[in-house]
Amino acid sequence: MFKKILIANRGEIACRVIKTARRMGIQTVAVYSDADREARHVAMADEAVHIGAAPSRESYLLGPRIIAACKQTGAQAVHPGYGFLSENAGFAQSVEEAGIVFIGPKYYSIAAMGDKIESKRLAAKAGVNCIPGVNEPIATAEEAVAIARSVGYPVMIKASAGGGGKGLRVAHNDKEAIDGFSSCRNEARNSFGDDRVFIEKFVEEPRHIEIQLIADSQGNTLYLNERECSIQRRHQKVIEEAPSPFISDATRKAMGEQAIALARAVRYQSAGTVEFVVGRDQSFYFLEMNTRLQVEHPVTECITGLDLVELMIRVAAGEPLPLTQAEVRRDGWAIECRINAEDPFRNFLPSTGRLVRFTPPAESMFAADTTRLNGVRVDTGVQDGGEIPMFYDSMIAKLVVHGRDRAQAISMMREALNGFVIRGVSSNIPFQAALLAHPSFVAGDFNTGFIAQHYSEGFKAQDVHHEDADFLIALAAFVRRKSRERATALSGQLPGFGVRAGKSYTVITLGAAGQHRYTPVNVDEFVGETGSATITVGTRTYNISSTSRLNDICIRGTVNQIAFTAQIERGPAKNPLSLRVQHNGRQIDALVVSPRMAQLYQLMPYKAPPDLSRFVLSPMPGLLVEIAVMPGQKVQAGERVAVVEAMKMENVLFAPADAVVARLLASKGDSLVVDQPIVEFV
């Protein structure tokens, strides 16, 4: 077994590998860029080596520097994680040629599966079901139309070297085929340096289901059940679960056996994943093979009780697999939510900055410890006070739950999301909560078009379903009453002028443009010692008990004898008296005041926000990579003005109307904050 390994990655996957290595008694080496000097994976590792500047192309993508770091520290093996160089055959070969073990498949297996056209040829030869289409590179748009007609619309136009949703278009007619062909080629050329494009049949109502493989160097290959990855936004996975609520045992077995056949055809060893698209009739077709550990590997670990990182390390060290296919378990149900630093209410734009508060829910099962299952696990590479840099992807944590069945797992996940405190950057937790509460998701009735279908106009606050929205009002009143009770006990109050807690309140739910909602609330039977009270909102009664302190953001307790977790923050709505209450994805900003104060508040005039229509504002924190206009220049509505880049995403900003540029308020290369003015018009 290795004595020391280097992790050629960052963030949560680097931390995940370190945990398993530490349990196995293996020393670890982290690598880091300028942006990651204070990162969690650097602090966790036994050693750390600086490898370059913040952009990944100047650090984490530089194979020679990583190999040099191995030689410098005496690391015997490299674990690539996922992303960056994990599926780079040239890097894997260079590592081996340097006398270092690559903890992953052999370079020739990576190369065979890295080319989507070649991989489909190999899959067909190995007897794997392939989607009807033409796997040869297409030269012209006219040829693309002819092939699309022969296959039958709709079709998918895909770049051979594509990935992560780049270089992919769906065409339903000749015009879309012509436009899609050109777009795919350009996108693929710019992103991957390879403009080869092919066409295949688009499976309607498709599910994205993948088979986890593990293979050793002795020729043993196992499939470790499947993962359901159909909940996707713009081809990026959002929620994953294992097993799938859709496929039958017979389909699972057939998919697993075909995945094994493909792995053997390319002499595969290590962990890998074969992805399939599955039709509504459970017909399935090969998509691609990911020759690395997957982001969503924890759900497989939960239902099988296997540590996939440990198996990868042992296989790389030449050990045989410790189990047979018949011994692979499938226990309970696991769900993973990707917690991303993005604002779902602003079209999921990236959100970067400092994590002022980062408190995940309490863990009861842990990465690298599969002896403790049925609970909550958090895989993350950040910590309280850490920085979310603009240079890398937006995922800051993976929240994983494991329950006895799917219904329990969904319930556990919703409660875990309620207790996940993130402040300083926006997160997609409200969106995850909305998905988990959606009736179609709960019923297991969804496909890869689920998000596009149900949130076609974007995600808005009203899209968050809450079984009882008045509970948030009752909770705000409970916390305010608790605060007033404490104020009554303050010493030194003048006789006759002391604070009185009272029972009658009005909860003012603050709305946009001054459209507030006024709700009378009664708080009875308050008992400070036990932290309990009876709250009446309209015809509803809530018996709330909570011993949480007033300065706790995360409030835990019971309502009508049912446990709950919610978040309450004071003063975020630019009003020191306001309370922000969050539960099950729903959020309200509220003032809890006396009935008389509520009457007076209604008389307050609404102060309209300033008119910013003359400005182009940055929609997200990021780097200003281009300004396409000059002072005095006339622009037309829709004309390109600037480009802001963050977390591998480019956002092009356009002129909102015909105008003349008055001033440039930022310069190329500037780091911008949200809503920072870039250009002013006259």
Residues with a catalytic annotation lie at 288
d(CA 26, CA 5): 7
Q: What are the angstrom distances between the C-alpha of 281 and each of 82, 417, 436?
A: 32, 34, 25
Strands (E) in 279-352, as ranges, are: 284-290, 333-340, 342-343, 349-350
Structure tokens, 134? 């033409």
d(CA 526, CA 592): 16
d(CA 184, CA 235): 15
d(CA 41, CA 223): 30
Of 215, 211, 318, nearest to 270 by C-alpha is 215
d(CA 21, CA 75): 13
Using an 8 Å Cβ cutoff, are 373 and 305 in contact? yes
**Residues in CB range of 240: below 8 A, 6 or more apart:** 227, 228, 229, 231, 296, 299, 335, 336
For residue 644, the surrounding DSSP H or E stretch is: strand 640-646
Long-range contacts of 21-25 (CB under 8 A, 24+ apart): 21/79, 21/309, 21/313, 22/368, 23/310, 23/368, 23/369, 24/310, 24/313, 25/1
Using an 8 Å Cβ cutoff, are 373 and 3 in contact? no
Sign, CA dihedral 611-353-463-471, equals negative
Sign, CA dihedral 105-199-241-459, equals positive
Q: Write down how long the chain is.
A: 682
Give 641: exposed, middle or buried? Use CB within 10 Å, 0-12, 13-18, 19+.
buried
Question: Other C-beta atoms within 10 Å of 540: how many?
Answer: 13
d(CA 379, CA 367): 7
Lookup result for tokens 């309370």: 579
**Residues in CB range of 271: below 8 A, 6 or more apart:** 104, 212, 213, 214, 292, 293, 297, 308, 311, 312
Using an 8 Å Cβ cutoff, are 555 and 563 in contact? no
d(CA 618, CA 303): 44
Structure tokens, 247? 């496929």
Using an 8 Å Cβ cutoff, are 263 and 191 in contact? no
